[in-house]
Amino acid sequence: MSEHVVQSPLPGVFYTRPVPDQPPFVEVGSVVTAGTTVGLVEVMKQFAEIKAGESGTVTAIHAENESIIGPGDGVVTIEKD
């Protein structure tokens, strides 16, 4: 099987959860589809969803919650189905 690294489309602050008191969008071992939200990136109080882009299983999460990321930075790795 091959891997797909989900990359941030924008620079900003990466969030692994929709709100602080809820569980993360995905965890290692989560099964996702191409349309699954894997995180949010905030730029100037605007939030953009980052989608998986491929179906498969999450094998790694590269960005920590509330970390600064740049465009093209890998945030999640998915082992494709």
Report residue 81's pLDDT band, with 50, 70 and 90 as the boundaries: confident
**Over the stretch 28-63, which tens digit does the pLDDT of each residue have?**
999 999 999 999 999 999 999 999 999 999 999 999
- Mean pLDDT within 17-27: 96
C-alpha 8: how far from chain center: 8
CATH number at 54 reads 2.40.50.100
pLDDT value for 1: 72
pTM for this model (two decimals): 0.93
List all residues 6 or more positions away from 18 whose beta carbon is below 8 Å from its beta carbon: 25, 40
pLDDT value for 41: 98
CA-nearest of 60, 56, 6 to 31 is 56
Supply the range of the domain harboring residue 68.
3-80
Cα-based angle 56, 52, 7 (whole degrees, multiple of 5): 120
Q: What is the domain count for the chain?
A: 1
Q: What is the mean pLDDT of the chain?
A: 97
